[in-house]
Chains A and B, each alone.
Chain A
Amino acid sequence: MTVSPEFRQNMISLIPSLRAFATSLCGSKDGADDLVQETLVQAWTSYASFQEGTNLKAWLVTILRNKYYSQLRKTKHEVEDIDGYYSQNLVSNPEQHSHMDFADFREALKQLDSNQREALILVGASGFSYEEAAEITGATVGTLKSRVSRARHQLAELLEPNSVDILEEDTASELVPG
Chain B
Amino acid sequence: MNDKFSDKYQHSAPAGADTMENEFDKGTGLDSLAQKQIGKELKSIYDEVVNEPIPDDMLDLLDRLGGEENSFS
Which positions in A face B, CB cutoff 8 Å? 1-3, 8, 11-12, 15-17, 19-21, 23-24, 32-33, 36-37, 40-41, 44, 98-100, 102, 105-106, 109, 120-121, 124-126, 145-146, 149-150, 152-153, 155-156, 159-160, 162-167, 170, 174
Contacts and interface: CB of A to CB of B under 8 A. Distances in A.
Interface residues of B, number: 45
B67 to A, nearest CB: 11
A174 B3 contact: no
B5 A160 contact: yes
A46 to B, nearest CB: 12
A63 to B, nearest CB: 14
A165 B14 contact: yes
A105 B46 CA distance: 12
Secondary structure of the A contact surface, majority rule: helix
- Among the interface residues A125, A163, A165, which one has the most CB atoms of the partner chain B within 10 A? A163
A21 B34 CA distance: 23
